[in-house]
A and B are shown apart, each in its own frame.
Chain A
Amino acid sequence: MTDVHNTVARVFRAEWGQVVATLIRITGDWDLAEECASEAFAAALQRWPSDGVPRKPGAWLTTTARNRATDRLRREAVGVAKMREAAVMYDEPEDDFPDERLRLMFTCCHPALALDAQVALTLRTLAGLTTAEIAKAFLVPEATMAKRLTRAKGKIRNACIPYRVPPAHLLPERTPGVLAVVYLLFNEGYTAVVRQNLTEEAVHLGRVLVQLMPDEPEAVGLLALMLMHHARREARIGTDGAMVTLEEQDRARWDGTLITEGVDLLDGALRRGQAGPYQIQAAIAACHVTAVRPEDTDWPQIAALYGQLVRHVPSPVVRLNQAVAVGMAYGPAVGLHLVDQLTGLAGYHLLPATRADLLRRMSRFEEAAAEYRTALEMATSESDRKYLHRRLTEVSKTG
């Protein structure tokens, strides 16, 4: 009994997006697709314990969902047109549904939708999270999230956003949007410990993307990047709930399997010679996770990679990270000099926090303490605050 439940849970994770994507293609109705997919999974829970798990669970679920949709459309049919729709559906092949998830992904991440709507739609339709779960992950009331999803689906329908993978000439401008949504999910889960399930979902979606776009090196780069960050999940939060810096993490607790997978993926992607921002960030992450001890880290290489990254993403946050890497490679004074030239980071707690760390390394403890205090006033995440507090106490004692 429990075994079948576990199987259904596993199949849910693997097949939900595919079932919904196929049902949207067949019916053109997003709500109907989700409802019928839910009903199909409910039917599986009811029938598989006695009938056994079908040979192709995905095809069974899709067929069941499609039959539900046909029934519903029949019942609601107001004219011949609807009946014809239903009739067409019976002509679909029974057993072998093509993978429609990529078109679902591109439609969810259409740039005519607001970013928060793209994220919510992706989680609902592709990952199968409930509206309540998504609302909880983004700290908004469930009603707000429900409205956001309804509005997004309404716009897709009313403005006629096409349900397709964009043609080749549009792919270069559309693909980064899809990757950005997945990476945003990952970061949402990564910065807040309580939302780790988002990290898992993002990695899952990253795997799906690589499977569907094997020739897109940036998709591979993104998956590699997420795997290498994810590999450190156990070590990055201390027993007291405070963030543990890379330097201080217990490297024995890093997940070697994920690291190997990430590094292999990255090597494969880089061989194509089309390095983009995700591959470069993955290369930086690889420098960190392949160093046996912190002092083995190849900081000059990381600083050089940040130099490349700045050319793709010339944002002040990337420049700040570049300054940190330069500080590690060539001394805190050089890093501090770069930090002092940055603009556009007002109110960002990592600016004073970075200055503080550099000053601490230069033994300028009083100035460091002042910067830690400023950073504490700005930091919102509890684990960040705990880290800053600890450093502040340290430099106050030393100074």
Chain B
Amino acid sequence: MKYMLMICADEETGAAHANDGCEGWSEEMLERGVLVGGGGLRPPMDATTVRVRDQQVLLTDGPFAESKEQIGGYCLIECADLDEAIEIAAKHPAAGYGTIEIRPML
């Protein structure tokens, strides 16, 4: 079963931890064979949003929605079930200061 972990934090907290790395989490999960991909993201102020309406490409400077909580990184994992996904997410250092959303992949 594949899940995406979306790592969220409010902008300030996220910025403060931007260069933390994962304190060995990635290494552990790679070794376990459950981490498929992922990475950290630059802050939302560097984001560009794209829509196409009536064949017009419309661009917005900024993220999907201006909200306090923003996605700061993501991981793709492949594991047995939701219980294992919860265990993996709970071990991620960002769970200690931000929030991690677990989304099953289609």
Contact = CB atoms under 8 A, between A and B. Distances in A.
Interface of A: 110, 112, 158-162, 166, 170
A159 B104 contact: yes
Interface in B1-40: 1
B3 to A, nearest CB: 8
Contacts of B102: 159
Nearest to A157: B104
A159 B86 CA distance: 11
B83 A166 contact: yes
A160 B81 contact: yes
A112 B82 CA distance: 9
B82 A170 contact: no
B80 interface: yes
Interface in B48-106: 80-83, 86, 102, 104
A177 to B, nearest CB: 13
B88 to A, nearest CB: 13
Interface centre among B1, B83, B86, B104 (most CB of A within 10 A): B83
B1 A160 contact: yes
19 contacts: A110-B82, A112-B82, A112-B86, A158-B104, A159-B82, A159-B102, A159-B104, A160-B1, A160-B81, A160-B82, A160-B104, A161-B82, A161-B83, A162-B80, A162-B81, A162-B82, A162-B83, A166-B83, A170-B83
Interface of B: 1, 80-83, 86, 102, 104
Closest 6 CB pairs of A and B: A162-B81, A160-B1, A160-B81, A159-B104, A161-B82, A159-B82
B86 to A, nearest CB: 7
Contacts of A166: 83
Contacts of A158: 104
Contacts of A161: 81-83
B2 to A, nearest CB: 10
Nearest to A170: B83
A166 B81 CA distance: 12
Contacts of B82: 110, 112, 159-162
A160 B81 CA distance: 5
A112 B102 CA distance: 10
A111 to B, nearest CB: 9
A158 B86 CA distance: 15
Contacts of B80: 162
Contacts of B81: 160-162
A103 to B, nearest CB: 13
Nearest to B106: A158
Given A159-B102, A160-B82, A166-B83, 15 more contacts: A110-B82, A112-B82, A112-B86, A159-B82, A159-B104, A160-B1, A160-B81, A160-B104, A161-B81, A161-B82, A161-B83, A162-B80, A162-B81, A162-B82, A170-B83
Nearest to A167: B83
Contacts of A112: 82, 86
A112 B100 CA distance: 13
A159 B80 CA distance: 11
A114 to B, nearest CB: 15
A343 to B, nearest CB: 28
A110 B86 CA distance: 12
A117 to B, nearest CB: 14
B82 to A, nearest CB: 5
B100 to A, nearest CB: 13
Contacts of A159: 82, 102, 104
A30 B74 CA distance: 32
Q: Which of A110, A112, A158, A159 has the most CB of B within 10 A?
A: A159
Contacts of B104: 158-160
A161 B80 CA distance: 10
Contacts of A160: 1, 81-82, 104
A112 B80 CA distance: 16
A336 to B, nearest CB: 43
A295 B83 CA distance: 51
A275 to B, nearest CB: 29
A160 B86 CA distance: 11
Q: Residue among A110, A159, A160, A162 with the most chain B CB within 10 A? A: A160
